Amino acid sequence: MININVFSQILSLIDRDIFKNLVSSYNSDKHQKGLTSWTHLVSMLFCHLSSSDSVRDISNGLRSTTGNMSHMGISRAPSKSSISYMNEHRDFNLFRDLYFALLSSLWNKDVNHRKELRSLKREVYLMDASVIPLCLSMFDWATFRSNKGAAKLHTVLDYDGCLPVFMEITDGKVHESKKANSFAFPKGSVVVVDRGYVDFQWMNVLDSKGCYFVTRSKSNMRYSVNKSYQSEAMRESGIIKDQIITLEGTASKRYGNKKLRLVHVLDSTTGNEYEFLTNNLQWKPAMVSMIYKQRWQIEIFFKHLKQRLKVTSFIGTSENAVQIQIWTALIGILLLKYIQNKVIYKWNLSNLVSFIRMNIFVKIDFWKWANDPFIKDKIPDKNGQLGVF
């Protein structure tokens, strides 16, 4: 008989020694009065996994586990005011550093095989930003437009695991290209971005450091064609033409007067033509197209983060509280994807979140249940009811 609930078993995935070292480095338990950083983390993860809408829901939900709190590593459930106070005053960098520590110790120690691009023996990074709308009158720090507020998640995903290796949270008015230089990509890696990141000076920096990029060209890009390749075989594979180009005007100077490659691709489903821009002149044109298609994985990540965890509505209005809620959501999605990757049953992430939410305080062997979640129907006797005679 298992005497530990599902939530406690999920919490056990977090290395307490790593967390204690971070708490010590930030001195975040000073004057904690029994409400430790661990209690704070447990409260926020409970908020995400149970889909709590308020600090009242978090406090009452944890109180309902009377007699089981020791399994979660906490002595008492925090009150509403205590959760609000912790979110207001405890440094969000504690949870940011915990996420990256768990990414290194829990996730990156296992090989996460890529689904596509197996022939491309390079690190691939997907870079994009996502906006979370906020009420400007309540979140007055999150300026976006004259009468609208927003927070923006500037994110770099490692394609192999589809988890962030870099994230910076700003107000909504900070443009994507302003944060492009914040992350240093390793030499030889491939960076996939959309048109919002087309800044030829930054792309020149990437090229100078030995990195490759794949993006979509802007409609107003001025260039001259040096070489153009077309064939019936290319057309059959969806490639209209493959061109070597040189930029014109100020863009050419910003990129160092170097050559680029423009691959024109026809979408057989919609009939639309797309132009993919890259600094790699050797790849097959189909490879360039395939690399850019993988950019959709970061959109899927943002969808999971916003729809499966508590990221679009917030229990605190200060910038620190929003940062804490987002970083603990990232810790939550890391734990969920780790579970999804480890178990035998092929869970869809949305189903896994729903089933954990319904069974969060049930005392079962979580790993046994996650491997085989459904009771199998018994096969009836081949003779039917007559088999009783």
Enumerate the domain spans of the chain. Answer: 6-103+320-371
In this prediction the pTM is 0.91
The tens-digit pLDDT sequence of the chain (389 residues) is 578 999 999 999 999 999 999 999 999 998 777 789 999 999 999 999 999 999 999 999 999 886 678 889 898 899 999 999 999 999 999 999 999 999 999 887 665 667 788 889 899 999 999 999 999 999 999 999 888 999 999 999 999 989 999 999 999 999 988 889 889 999 999 999 999 999 999 999 999 999 999 999 998 999 999 999 999 889 988 999 999 999 999 999 999 999 999 999 998 888 899 999 999 999 999 999 999 999 999 999 999 999 999 999 999 999 999 999 999 999 999 999 999 999 999 999 999 999 999 999 999 999 999 999 887 765 555 555 545 44
Burial class (CB in 10 A: 0-12, 13-18, 19+), 281: exposed
CA atoms of 190 and 118, how far apart (whole Å): 14
Measured CA to CA in angstroms, residue 389 lies from 378, 384, 385, 386 at distances of 20, 10, 8, 6
Q: What is the pLDDT of residue 349?
A: 92
Q: What is the pLDDT of residue 389?
A: 45
